[in-house]
Amino acid sequence: MSSVLIVDDEPNIRRMVGALLASEGYEVRDAAEGALGLQRIAESCPDVVLLDLMIPGELDGLATLARLRETVPDVPVIMMSGKAGLSDAVKATKLGAFNFLEKPLSPEGVLLALASALELRRVRREARALREDLGLAGEMIGRSPAMERVREMIGRVAPTDARVMITGESGTGKELVASAIHFGSARKERPFVRVNCAAIPRDLVESEMFGHEKGAFTGATDRRIGRFELAHTGTLFLDEVGDLGAEAQAKLLRAIEAKEIERVGGGKPIRVDVRIVSATNRDLTRAVSDGSFREDLLFRLNVIPIEVPPLHERPDDIPALVAHFSTLHRARTGRQPPQWTTGALSLLAQYRWPGNVRELANIVERLAILHAGADVDERDVRSVLPLDGGVRRADAPLPDPSLLEESLTDTLDGHERTLIVRALSAAGGNVAEASRRLRTDRANLYRRMRRLGIPVGDE
């Protein structure tokens, strides 16, 4: 149940709005003045605050809003007033108000503003959880020269509003780099909104990006606020931007150039102030050459390029990463982490890591579960790494055909099994992602897995 705090000196407003919200399933509390409202928040933090601009007492509406931004910056505040002028609305917006409602209030307006504010609250919580998952303090782990170059570039780029294109293999930590850019900028207290472009069905991209009005299409039963609006004054992170279709690319280009969007089914342009950070594991220059990505959009997005190195190019960082993921596992589960022997760490450093840091995190978690509080040695590491339980560099030479001890069919099946197991491991067991890595369709991959005796799980 979502909670709302109403701060208004008019008893009728508190009573009527409170009754409306309670009938809609909200948990409602109220306060007649700003100081009391701050006390209520100290007792129990609400999900949204409805705040009157003209409240009497030591703290008026704007002063209360300023205190709220300091104490609970993630809580959206909706201002209310029947006497406010344009200058008051501008001041409230600059102080961080999410919305401004004019009195007399309408039930529809209040409920719509609350729904949008709660969506913003949800996105902020997800962003905070993401930062916690990425690291104890959102830090980037590793002191190899390659990672120091990335840090140096982030330090130079983050304070600006320049658009950034982050490239690198899947699992290298591109999202962590985007987060570091946002939280190193002047927008760090504003929203950080992520869009996984590869996961959005093509017929819903426009609605997801720009939102839609009620009744805009079949199934649009309510207004939806798009990711551009949610990221207003903050940062919009377009992950896997290379997977956008041609129509979505054109609309994204227009939004960037015009700095405004239109909701699906709406005819009114909406100004948006967002910093765009993009990421891709595709070669977009080649995609431009083959016609699958717009050159003008690439120019707009790729103002500052940052390439994240694959894990096999920075093996010296592996001990620090192992220690980091072990600490995260302990923080999540409370279980004692294992002790990593020198041989185990050396073996991990020899592996090619096709799934990069994400694959290493999965391996560390698996070993931390299997050997909680015990030692992890080379044998333990070999037992969980793919490639027939051993460590074989991905660039190892193929054997001399004249020395093969198996038939051609068995040898090819062995290599195919190795590739599939490696792709599944890198994808964390996700068959759809593994099929994308192997450049085949999911149905074909399932058939090959069954033929080779690889467990397919639930199809």
243-291 pLDDT, tens digit each: 998 989 999 999 999 999 888 888 788 899 999 999 999 999 999 999 9
Which long-range contacts link 114-117 to residues 24+ away (Cβ below 8 Å)?
114/2, 114/4, 114/21, 114/26, 114/48, 114/78, 115/222, 115/223, 116/223, 116/225, 117/47, 117/48, 117/76, 117/78
Q: Where in the chain is the domain with CATH 1.10.8.60?
A: 312-394
Run of H or E residues at 3: strand 3-7
Q: How is residue 400 written in tokens? A: 């001399």
Contact 448, 413 (CB under 8 A): no
- Strand intervals (E) in 309-380: 339-340, 375-376
Task: Indicate if the pLDDT at residue 459 is higher than 70.
Answer: no
Residue 403's pLDDT is: 52
Q: Report the C-alpha gap between 182 and 67 in whole angstroms.
A: 24
The answer as to CATH 3.30.413.10 being correct for domain 312-394 is no
pLDDT, mean of residues 185-195: 89
Q: Report the C-alpha gap between 306 and 166 in whole angstroms.
A: 5
Residue 207: pLDDT band (50, 70, 90) is confident
DSSP collapsed to 3 states, 293-311: CCHHHHHHHCCEEEECCCH
Query: CA of 76: how far to CAs of 26, 48, 69, 298, 326, in Å?
Result: 15, 5, 9, 34, 35
Query: CA of 34: how far to CAs of 58, 68, 90, 94, 356, in Å?
Result: 8, 10, 20, 19, 51
- Render pLDDT for 116-127 as a digit per residue (tens, 0 to 9): 999 888 877 776
- Render pLDDT for 54-77 as a digit per residue (tens, 0 to 9): 888 888 889 999 888 878 887 899
Residue whose token pair is 């939102």: 211
Q: Where in the chain is the domain with CATH 1.10.10.60?
A: 397-459
Q: Give me the percent of the chain exceeding a pLDDT of 90.
A: 44
- 49-63, 108-122, 179-193, 400-414: segment of lowest average pLDDT: 400-414
Q: CB 434: neighbour CB atoms within 10 A? A: 24
Contact 96, 51 (CB under 8 A): no
Residue 8: pLDDT band (50, 70, 90) is very high
Predicted model pTM: 0.60
Q: Report the C-alpha gap between 338 and 397 in whole angstroms.
A: 34
Q: Where in the chain is the domain with CATH 3.40.50.300?
A: 135-309
Q: Report the C-alpha gap between 53 and 62 in whole angstroms.
A: 6
Run of H or E residues at 356: helix 356-370
Q: How is residue 115 written in tokens? A: 């729904």
Superfamily of chain region 3-119: Response regulator (3.40.50.2300)
Going by C-alpha positions, the residue among 243, 253, 249, 239 that lies closest to residue 166 is 239
Residue 457's pLDDT is: 59
pLDDT, mean of residues 117-145: 70
Looking at every residue in the chain, the average pLDDT score rounds to 85
pLDDT, mean of residues 104-120: 91
Q: Where in the chain is the domain with CATH 3.40.50.2300?
A: 3-119
Contact 29, 3 (CB under 8 A): yes
Run of H or E residues at 87: helix 86-94
Convert 112-144 to b/e letters by CB count within 10 Å (16 or more is b).
bbbbbbbebbebbeebeeebeebbeebebbbeb
Q: Report the C-alpha gap between 96 and 282 in whole angstroms.
A: 37
Residue 305's pLDDT is: 95
Write out the CATH class of domain 397-459.
mainly alpha
Going by C-beta distance under 8 Å and a sequence separation of 6 or more, which residues neighbour residue 429? 457
Going by C-beta distance under 8 Å and a sequence separation of 6 or more, which residues neighbour residue 276? 163, 235, 236, 238, 256, 301
Contact 181, 158 (CB under 8 A): yes
CATH number at 135-309? 3.40.50.300
Residues β-bridged to residue 376: 340
